[in-house]
Structure 1
Amino acid sequence: MTVQDVMQDSDVIKQAGYEVKVVRTARRKSATIKVEEGVVAVVVPKALPMEKVHQLVAAKHQWILEKLAIHAEARPSRGKEYVSGEAFPYLGRNYRLKVVQGNVTATKLVNGKITVTVPEYASQAQFVRRSLTHWYKRNADKKIREKVDRYQSIVGVETGVVRIKDFKSRWGSCTPYGDLEFNWLIVLAPNRIVDYVVVHELCHLLHHDHSPQYWREVERVMPDYRECKEWLRDNAQLLVV
């Protein structure tokens, strides 16, 4: 269930700077707060007293503000202009974009800048975005294959097929045939987060579910996987080109 799916007749708690929709359900035994697309909702057991709901929201006030701030920074209205000086992340570091005019050449990371050459006939924003996308995909293919080669022996598995793909709502996939597929946008995240996504999919070659046994295997390889998982959950919407 997403926040947008909440009941129309839910209660509302007004806080400083935001409102919280209170969704009651008989299917829950504990309360959960969600912040999605700038909407705050708390899903609680049907019989939970309103006083307890207020206490829960108050206790998570700072966390809610931080989530709302992340959403505000990531809104499309603050979109890129694809001009020199803009910052684009790669493996956890921000690199400045350098746009130059000239004959078409491959986009490169040179002297700490991602350099895109735009021909005179092209629309700069569209051309730069397309060139950046190709550059990220090319580097994602190289880096992720390197990480798969590194971690598969540690996990104790082998895979013959690695693909870089466009995914709308996932960072990786392990097919029933044992092929691994990765969202190229993950290379915008810090290096350790990319490691986590690679390990996550490699461990699915041992366990094709998210059972306790599966997570124990992930933890064996990456003891800090919980921090990586949380970072990705909190920052996924910022990984855009």
Structure 2
Amino acid sequence: MKINKLNEADLTKPEYRDGNGFIVEVIRTARRKSADIRVEEGAVSVVVPEATTVERIDQLLLAKREWIIEKLTRQREVAPISNKQFVSGEALPYLGRNYRLKVTTGVFQPVKLLQGRLVLQVPEGRQQPHMIRNALVRWYKHQAGVKIRQKVRRYAPLVGVEPVSVTIKSFKSRWGSCTADGKLEFNWRILLAPNRMVDYVVAHELCHLIHHDHSPAFWRELARVMPDYQECREWLKLNSGKLQV
């Protein structure tokens, strides 16, 4: 079963550079021969060959600074409306529980779940709320990669299927998808829901490896694997709009 296949951004432990107004996640990988700068959901990352020097990375970021700022501005304008202020003490959901945010000021440190709190450190400045949100999104995406792959390993034998790969993505209006060639894709935001909802989404997409539609046969298969799926489906219909960071 090839469900351990990771996104390219998951291949190595990331490092960070301060872009003077934005934080850049640096991912080193042996699979690339050139650099690739990405701006997704208001977060900047650069994927580079393993041996790329820090000086070279900084040169690339400086050369692309105007383009990065423009992309960040556009993405923030269309970002989902959130009632979060991204300050210490604020509650954030994760697998059915709320965790308090703890923000300190200094050199950027990514989010960690410590003693029941989501702890991170960011530089001072007017961009601080954006940096905090971006750091939280990165953390949720990483956790999704871990938790969802664990659940795929658990449910795939029950369904009797072998997905080609599992990828974590950002979707606007769906929780997952199953491609015609057997690849599963999941929305990281499902980790904002209770744990059982994650089970439902994983089982749902795995069943699509057998039935590629929502026919009665598909729902029977899902009910066999997860008898309470209707409750989960209804919960997501009622609450999906609230699952935002």
TM over 0.5: yes
TM-score normalised by structure 1 residue count: 0.67
Answer yes or no: is 1:86 the counterpart of 2:90: yes
Larger radius of gyration: 1
Q: Figure out how many residues of one structure are paired with residues of the other and give that number.
A: 166
Task: Quote the residue 1:33 is aligned against.
Answer: none
Give ranges in structure 2 of 5+ residues lacking alignment: 1-79
Task: Quote the residue 1:226 is aligned against.
Answer: 230
Task: Quote the residue 2:144 is aligned against.
Answer: 140
Q: Output the CA distance in 2 between the equivalents of 1:172 and 1:165.
A: 9
2:192 is aligned, of 160, 167, 188, to 188
Task: Quote the residue 2:114 is aligned against.
Answer: 110
Answer yes or no: is 1:202 the counterpart of 2:206: yes
How far apart are residue 122 of structure 1 and its match? 6.5
Task: Quote the residue 1:163 is aligned against.
Answer: 167
Q: Output the CA distance in 1 between the equivalents of 2:85 and 2:234.
A: 30
How far apart are residue 183 of structure 1 and its match? 0.5
2:99 is aligned, of 90, 95, 102, to 95
Provide the identity percentage: 60
Q: Which has the higher contact order (CA 8 A, sep 6+)?
A: 2
Q: After superposition, give the CA deviation of every residue in 1:95-129 in whole Å (9 maximum; x if it has no partner).
A: 01100112212210001000121123562201100
Task: Quote the residue 2:72 is aligned against.
Answer: none
1:99 partner SS: strand
AA at the equivalent of 1:199? A
Give ranges in structure 1 of 5+ residues lacking alignment: 1-74
Answer yes or no: is 1:125 the counterpart of 2:141: no
1:174 is aligned, of 172, 175, 178, to 178
Q: After superposition, give the CA deviation of every residue in 1:24-82 in whole Å (9 maximum; x if it has no partner).
A: xxxxxxxxxxxxxxxxxxxxxxxxxxxxxxxxxxxxxxxxxxxxxxxxxxx94x61110
AA at the equivalent of 1:216? R
TM-score normalised by structure 2 residue count: 0.66
AA at the equivalent of 1:165? K
Answer yes or no: is 1:152 the counterpart of 2:156: yes
2:163 partner SS: coil
1:202 partner SS: helix
Q: After superposition, give the CA deviation of every residue in 1:160-190 in whole Å (9 maximum; x if it has no partner).
A: 2101001011000000111000000000000
